[in-house]
Amino acid sequence: MYNPEGSDNNKEFIEIYSDDYTNLTDFIIEDISNEDVLSLVYYYNSNYFLIVESDFDYSNINASIYTVGSTIGNDLNNDNDVVIFRNDDGEIIDVVVYDSEWGGDGNKSLERISFNESSNDESNWAESRYAEGTPGRENSIIIKDFSSIAITEFLPDPAGDDDMAMPDGEWVELYNSANDNIDLSDLYFLDDFGHEIRIDDTHAMDTTTIEANDFLIIYTNGFSGFLNNDEDRIGLYYLNDLIDEVSYSSSREDVSWAKINNWVLSEPSPGSINENISTLLDSSVKIISIYLGSNNKAEFGDNINIRIQVDKGDTTKNSIKAWVEKDKIRVSKQSVVNVYGKFINYTLTIPVQLDPNCNGKFKDGEYKLILDGLDSSDFKYFQVEGIGTSLCETVLKNQERTIGSRELNIQLLEVQAEMNMDEDAMVKVKIDNNSSEQSNVELWSYIYNGPVSLSGDREGNKRVVSLPEKSSTIVELRNSLEGHIEEGDYKIKVNVRKQNRKTPDEFVSSIRILDKNTFSGNAPNPGNLISGGTIYESSDTKAKNSISYILIITLLIIIIFILFRKGL
């Protein structure tokens, strides 16, 4: 620039471009009457070098700065002059003889059109499109087409500190719809508050070139104030030309704005096609199916398996519950499963234990399965008819039984609701011998379908346990399938026989056998296990528990009576 607005002092400049970085210290610049030696005052990793006067303001220029003192040569003449550029050996690198008729009056620089054409060819020079020129940037007269570049996603409020170094912190995603790679190093972002971020190696991970039909992520990389959390507008510019822009009025932590036809809040997906991601912020739970067997009915006391779909969006809630009811009266235990993370889809199988209904309180008919959690719910109706007689026989038999002075509690801790064909199903049983004598117990389990055992010999995993007085133990039973088993719903039975008894107590539960390709073992542990359930508790123990409750209630009544008398 030879004729800036107002005084020329400290406003004139000469721009040098090089494909490779070169230290221009001791290189020489001269005009028609004087020459100056270059001295580096500011280094910037760029292909542009600027030769300026000593008090030139280069604060917003991305180029290495060299000064020559108070004037370039004897000032660059406004009508015509010659500019010669030499290396530190005095060899001429380039020469230009310019004239005001070429342009460059009125606070605009002269810009070279082609490096391959002569520097003294008037047709190879033109006046800049912008006031004060384009120092440190590509010449404005070299028109580039950036119409294929668009802002497609941005994250204004990442989890944690917004100003973290890349690849964390805030970012903007660009997409190139052209079939050619494009260097974006001349582009920059500008917001409504004047904050500017240039596309350079400080804000891009590996390159400033965006490949054809691909994405490039630009990070704020610790720059504070850009992408406000409440509202802002960001524009993408080349020189002073707007390429694309987007405005927003709010944000949510760890949720991006993504362009999917329109702008929507979405799961962050930097570098991925937005149409292929979940854009749901709200979570949902859905009952896919209820496994009821061939007759499509359940019996009271059954442990039914339900398959559910969970689409978890932007929520910190984790708990999902399932139960069966009729007329708002529950007829099952409540099963609970927890799902963690955000923007995750689960397909789970969980068990729900129906009440055995041994006293006939509930009638056969249609019952309602309810699934609730993550601020969403679903339900399905199904038929329940009949009572699992073996379970009720065990319950009634155990309720009436008293074994002299012995106190023996047997509790089923854990049994799987589903298993993979090539894996084992584990059963855990806890035995408490509260008596003052040793007690012997036999335990075994097997998987079956009607009269056929699917896990070999029905007593193949039998364990005989001898418990000393006042002791407890946990017994594990392993059930391995034998031969090829079709995927489907089956039963697993746990037998417990106490000493001096011929007939064992039984616990029967449903188990679903899955092919390994459909096994939903990624569910949280509570979802694939049935836990709890006392198989046997002696009447002496029940009586002691009842006496404890009666004593507590009596004591509370006495305390209330004394307080009442004092109040009088």
Q: What is the dihedral of CA 299, 300, 304, 306, to 10 degrees?
A: 100
Instruction: Note whether 109 and 47 are same-domain residues.
Output: yes
- Pick left, alpha or beta for residue 99 (phi over 0 → left; psi -120 to 50 → alpha; otherwise beta): beta
Q: State the pLDDT at residue 190.
A: 93
- 3 domain-assigned: no
Cβ–Cβ < 8 Å for 75, 60:
no
- 135 domain-assigned: no
3-state secondary structure of 286: strand
353-382 pLDDT, tens digit per residue, is 898 887 778 899 999 999 999 889 999 999
Instruction: Note whether 414 and 459 are same-domain residues.
Output: yes
- 492 domain-assigned: yes
Instruction: Note whether 407 and 510 are same-domain residues.
Output: yes
CB atoms inside a 10 Å sphere around CB 516: 10
309-320 pLDDT, tens digit per residue, is 888 877 888 889
Instruction: Note whether 212 and 337 are same-domain residues.
Output: no
**At residue 29, does pLDDT exceed 50?**
yes
Structurally, the chain folds into a number of domains equal to: 4
The CATH number of the domain where 232 resides is what?
2.60.40
| Domain interval for residue 205 | 149-276
Region of poorest pLDDT, from 408-412, 498-502, 527-531: 527-531
Q: State the pLDDT at residue 390.
A: 53
51-88 pLDDT, tens digit per residue, is 999 899 998 899 999 999 888 877 888 889 999 999 99
Cβ–Cβ < 8 Å for 218, 189:
yes
Region of poorest pLDDT, from 434-448, 479-493, 499-513: 499-513
Q: What is the dihedral of CA 384, 389, 393, 399, to 10 degrees?
A: 0
249-307 pLDDT, tens digit per residue, is 888 888 888 888 788 888 888 998 876 444 456 788 999 999 887 788 888 888 889 98
Instruction: Note whether 300 and 336 are same-domain residues.
Output: yes
Q: Which of 339, 356, 387 is the last residue of a domain?
A: 387
Q: State the pLDDT at residue 526.
A: 36
Q: State the pLDDT at residue 458.
A: 92
Distance CA 2, CA 195 (A): 30
Instruction: Note whether 156 and 249 are same-domain residues.
Output: yes
Contacts of residue 562, defined as CB under 8 A and 6 or more positions apart, other chains included, come to: none
Strands 418-420 and 344-353: unpaired
Instruction: Note whether 70 and 109 are same-domain residues.
Output: yes
Distance CA 431, CA 534 (A): 10
Q: State the pLDDT at residue 314.
A: 77
196-222 pLDDT, tens digit per residue, is 999 998 999 989 999 999 999 999 998
Q: Which residue has the higher pLDDT, 82 or 141?
A: 82
330-354 pLDDT, tens digit per residue, is 999 899 888 877 777 778 888 898 9
Site of tokens 């891009």: 204
Instruction: Note whether 430 and 367 are same-domain residues.
Output: no
